[in-house]
Amino acid sequence: MGLIFLQLLPGPKVFKCRCCSAHLASRDAVISKDFNGRYGRAYLLKRAVNVCLGPSEERTLMTGLHLVNDIYCCSCRQILGWRYEKAFEESQKYKEGKYILEKARLMKEG
């Protein structure tokens, strides 16, 4: 296995992996703080870095059926949340390509 190169985000307000402190997202990327994940409260984000995608799977969530990928920290492989690949209901299309990061899996810097 080769070296892992992690992207560092500029600025003091950054979400990091609770296990290994890898940068995951800027707080500027937050769309909503009013989401739920598997382990409690979660953020909906425009983008995330240093994450790896799991396989696509259809999952029935609180808002209906979605095609999602679990996301993992590229550094320590901790599961962090998921990425919405496709929403089947028209009212949920705004989530496509967005990320859910669970607060329990994160730490805030700044």
What per-residue confidence (pLDDT) applies to 2? Answer: 67
CA dist 25 → 55, 62, 82 (Å): 21, 24, 14
Q: For residue 46, is pLDDT > 70?
A: yes
Separation of alpha carbons 42 and 48, rounded Å: 14
Q: Are strands 99-102 and 64-73 parallel, antiparallel or unpaired?
A: unpaired
First to last CA, the chain: 33
Supply the pTM of this predicted model.
0.92
Share the mean pLDDT of the chain: 94
What per-residue confidence (pLDDT) applies to 1? Answer: 56
What per-residue confidence (pLDDT) applies to 4? Answer: 76
Q: For residue 25, is pLDDT > 90?
A: yes
What per-residue confidence (pLDDT) applies to 72? Answer: 97
Look at 5-14, 23-32, 62-71 and tell me which has the smallest mean pLDDT.
Answer: 5-14
Cβ neighbours, 10 Å, residue 76 = 13
Work out the average pLDDT over 17-37.
96
